[in-house]
Amino acid sequence: MYALEAKHLYKSYHTRKQTITVLQDISLQIRKGEMVAIMGPSGSGKSTLLHNLSGIDQPDSGEILVNGHNLASFSQEELALFRRKNFGMVFQDFQLLESLSVGENILLPMILDKRNGQEQKQQLEKLLKLTGLEELKDRGITELSGGQKQRVAIARAFVQEPHLVFADEPTGSLDAETAENILHCMADMNRQAQASMLIVTHDLYAASFCHRILSLTENGLLPYEQEGRWDR
């Protein structure tokens, strides 16, 4: 059983004058613990694909299976709960709450699930150490650099020990040195937690940290000719 399997996905958007097909017959399989990058030019549908695979949006047709569970079989309430327990999300613009501290942002999914205080404390300590944020636990989000904010977002994505982590251009707004640090952090988290990861990026260097690289084309998802950096 795959951690994530998509079968024949189609997605179109409709305007008054035309129908724009973004995804056409897209299929994908990701194994447990595997990091996969999806590349493609702007407008190729990378973010649309990620939003469909993560349950943020729904395809017009096709199946998305997560550990054998069909996302289409869930009600909206069930899907929201399933996503919170099983998925982690990392966004280019961080999507952190400025009214909360670093530690509170990381713990937010556990707080929403009403996990007990001891579990929260243990997870927070572990993730602060893994992401190098121990000294920033009580800082406000506005006091952080872009790289520090992205580390907080990564820690939050892993706090529920998800089966799958989705990252949408996670280094797109960062300088080269900070981006490299973030990529090593994500690779370390993948190795430690054995969570499967799907990274959407236009950056070949970022994609090279993954086990596999796929290109989103008009003919579907095709293997990129360069293998990922297995020795990371």
Q: What is the pLDDT of residues 100-142, one digit of tens each?
A: 999 999 999 999 888 898 999 999 999 998 888 999 999 999 9
C-alpha distances in angstroms, 118 versus 111, 123, 160, 176? 12, 9, 14, 38
Distance, in Å, from the CA atom of 1 to the CA atom of 66, rounded to the nearest integer, reads 9
Range 57-71 average pLDDT: 95
Task: Compute the mean pLDDT over every residue in the chain, rounded to the nearest whole number.
Answer: 90
Structure tokens at 209: 């940290």
Distance, in Å, from the CA atom of 209 to the CA atom of 212, rounded to the nearest integer, reads 9
Task: Indicate the domain borders of the chain.
Answer: 32-55+85-223
Distance, in Å, from the CA atom of 71 to the CA atom of 76, rounded to the nearest integer, reads 10
Report pLDDT for 143: 96
CATH superfamily of 32-55+85-223: P-loop containing nucleotide triphosphate hydrolases (3.40.50.300)
In the predicted structure, residue 82 carries a pLDDT above the cut 50: yes
User: Do 53 and 227 touch, CB atoms closer than 8 A?
Assistant: no
pTM: 0.89
Report pLDDT for 230: 42
Range 179-194 average pLDDT: 87
Structure tokens at 147: 């790289």
Report pLDDT for 194: 87
